[in-house]
Amino acid sequence: MKYCLLSFFLLLFISNTAQEDLTSQLYETYDKYKEDALDKRRIKPYQVQLLVNELKKNKKFTVTKVGESIQGRDLNLISIGKGSIDVFLWSQMHGDEPTATQAIFDIFNFLNSDDFVKEKREILARVKLHFLPMLNPDGAQLFTRRNALGIDINRDALRLQSPEGRTLKKVRDSLNPKFGFNLHDQSRYYNAERTAKPATISYLAPPFNYEKDINTIRGDAMKVIVFMNNIIQKYAPGQVGRYSDDFEPRAFGDNLTKWGTGVILIESGGYQNDREKQEIRKLNYVSILSALYTIGKNTYKDIPIEDYEKIPHNDRKMFDLKLTNVTYHIDSIPYQLDLGIYRNEVDDRNHDKFHYESIIADQGDLSTYYGYETFDATGYTLVAPKVTEQIIELPVNFEMVTDYEDFVTSGFAYLRAKGMEEVKPFQKARINLVPEEFELPEFNLRPGITPNFFLKKDGKYTHAVLNGFLLDLSKPLDAQEFGNALIYK
């Protein structure tokens, strides 16, 4: 008996060690398999279709057209493997959530390579993988959540009003997969509960009823999630959250669990200095491949299901910029406030680039909130911005103003300009442009306004906040990280 137990634990140790080695190697070699054609979040359906067309020529993969979107774009299922365990992965059900779509094509490159032969053989001999990337191509074209019908596909599992939803249901029913990976993006403003760390990755094993019962199907999904969480902790410690498991009877994840598939919801959130989510994409790649390996090896079965509840809940208490304890005067009376700022993305007309239009999201006591960037403004006074009397003439091929630093260091956030009829709504220079007739309204600090103001200390301008970006006026402005200023027409 002692010998049997010793052998069991020895095999378990060897298996876990091999798995850890594989995970480390996947992370270290990732750049070799990264699909460079998908290097920005705002990927278009034609880019994905070009890559799918290449896969059609590859005998390792089976590509099947399984449906069309409302606007007639192909929905393709890409399959590989010969195993008896079917696993179904679908991404970009919401058109503006592309991180996992990118990771899926990285995974295709990995599976097509001549590397990791033993590990891939072990996965594909036991598991058959089915990928449906970019379920909502019409939404992806416009980088918007909903489809061309204007509905949220993830709330269409009951009525199946959309062709995309019907395709997802049809594929699930035909495959009857043991596991389904439901791949999404979530707001960068989620944090791991009661911590200052963003929820870079959040997980959920969706319930199948209001009581949130746990059967074998849901329990196995929970175990795989615990396994994936342990991997992410190695590369983004403390940056994993657990999504709310309130039952949503219209959602696909909840219904797939009810229909017999163990669903693993992955939500890609925020990561410091990773606005394009390329590090998060890498974490998707590593954790999904590692999960497929443990599914193939069946080692997830030994994971304690109780560890799922130890993953902290998602909370939504992050700001892009948080200022604490700043002094603000009304009628010469000083008040102390915290400010929380969001840097909102605004797409261009083609939905392939964006600029920032920031807002003050909240103010007051924000002591239970956190920032990707936090500045302690104790001893600093917030003062209103000024507009220049000087008027500049914009050149015909205007790109951005360069002679502006003296204005900003003197408290000017707005520069009057002529010739603004055709210019863009933003510029990279560290000052806002306004028409020559611009009248600066009375400054009233409140949620919803664009954060353009200055900080003073000992009567001297020390910092500027321009369109929600904090600039230290004691340093060269061009050398500091900055998104864009605005152009008011």
pLDDT value of residue 272: 97
Q: Is a pLDDT exceeding 70 seen at residue 6? A: no
Cα–Cα nearest to 30, from 282, 276, 234 = 282
pTM: 0.94
Q: Is a pLDDT exceeding 50 seen at residue 375? A: yes
pLDDT value of residue 2: 52
Q: What is the mean pLDDT of residues 251-275?
A: 98
pLDDT value of residue 11: 42
What's the angle, vertex CA 314, arms to CA 309 and CA 317, rounded to 5?
145
Domains of the chain, by residue range, sit at: 18-315, 319-486
Q: How many CB atoms lie within 10 A of CB 327?
A: 18
Which pair of structure tokens corresponds to residue 428? 């990279």
Q: Is a pLDDT exceeding 90 seen at residue 10? A: no
DSSP 8-state symbol, 487: B
Instruction: Return the bridge partners of 432, or none.
Output: 414
CATH class of 18-315: alpha beta
Q: Are 186 and 202 in contact (CB under 8 A)?
A: yes
Each residue of 315-355: pLDDT tens digit?
999 999 999 999 999 999 999 999 999 999 999 999 999 99
Residue 54's alpha-carbon distances to 63, 106, 114, 285, in angstroms, are 10, 14, 17, 20
**pLDDT averaged over every residue in the chain:** 94
Which pair of structure tokens corresponds to residue 319? 């700001």
Q: Is a pLDDT exceeding 50 seen at residue 13? A: no
Q: Is a pLDDT exceeding 80 seen at residue 364? A: yes
Question: Is domain 319-486 annotated with CATH 1.10.3720.10?
Answer: no
Spell out the alpha helix ranges (H) of 423-482: none
Each residue of 277-317: pLDDT tens digit?
999 999 999 999 999 999 999 999 999 999 999 999 999 99
pLDDT value of residue 253: 98
Greater model confidence, 233 or 1: 233
Cα–Cα nearest to 78, from 65, 94, 97 = 65
Each residue of 199-220: pLDDT tens digit?
999 999 999 999 999 999 999 9
